[in-house]
Amino acid sequence: MRFSTGGLTGVWAEKNTREAIWDALYARESYGTSGTRIRVRFFGSFDYPADLNKNPDLIKLAYAQGVPMGGDLKGGAGKPPRFVVWATRDPDSAPLQKVQIVKGWVVDGKPMAKIYDVVCSDGIKAGADGACADNGASVDIATCKIAPGKGAGELSTTWTDPAFDPKTRAVYYVRVLEDPVCRWSTYDAHRLKVDPPKAVPATIRERAWTSPIWYTPG
């Protein structure tokens, strides 16, 4: 396998029961990871305040005033929706580097996409192109130890699409990226006391993806 050894699927269920997990899957309130245990939540609404991610009642208000990942936003009377995202790192993996929102839409039958870096670690802000500069995080290939001092344990923001068109259907989902870690083949090479294979990258960026939120004009 070129990238990773396997992924994980998570759901946000009210209880750890078969019925509650089924309900969460049916509601599409689920996300996947490349194998890391990142936690991520994603909500959208026409009524969220601009700083909802800083509210201690974030989750309660997000459900009450909007929809979670997997949900549909309809109408809005031309008002742009706000999205709130919150992610925490896997304590056994690398810190988080950034959170992206990926937007998709269709123009004259052609699928379009745009990636926005909506919140980044280490105080880095997105430039005019919507992307953050690399934070300089690194991993020692010889030992697979992560260099300290980079990345974040938690990232959150409330975001509005700067190119929102109220007349165009769109879909949004979140992607969370960690700082680099050794690829599984590099770990195996260390165990076997051989050089890492040159045919594949020595490191990877573990990540998570959420179910999308769909926007439909009213």
Nearest-angstrom CA–CA distance, 207 and 173 = 13
Tell me the per-residue pLDDT of 33-75, one tens digit each, with 9 for 90 and over: 999 999 999 999 999 999 999 999 999 999 999 999 999 999 8
Nearest-angstrom CA–CA distance, 130 and 117 = 6
Furthest C-alpha separation in the chain: 63
Nearest-angstrom CA–CA distance, 152 and 86 = 12
Nearest-angstrom CA–CA distance, 189 and 183 = 10
- 193-210 mean pLDDT: 92
Tell me the per-residue pLDDT of 90-144, one tens digit each, with 9 for 90 and over: 999 999 999 999 999 999 999 999 999 999 999 999 998 899 999 999 999 999 9
Tell me the per-residue pLDDT of 170-181, one tens digit each, with 9 for 90 and over: 999 999 999 999
Nearest-angstrom CA–CA distance, 111 and 132 = 24
Q: Give me 35's structure tokens.
A: 């194998």
pLDDT of residue 1: 47
* CA distances, 188 to each of 37, 106, 119, 182, 202 (Å): 21, 43, 33, 10, 11
Burial of 187: CB neighbours in 10 Å, binned 0-12, 13-18, 19+:
middle
- 137-160 mean pLDDT: 94
Q: What percent of the chain has pLDDT over 70?
A: 98
In the block, residue with structure tokens 């039958």 = 109
State the average pLDDT for the chain: 94
**β-bridge partners, 106:** 111
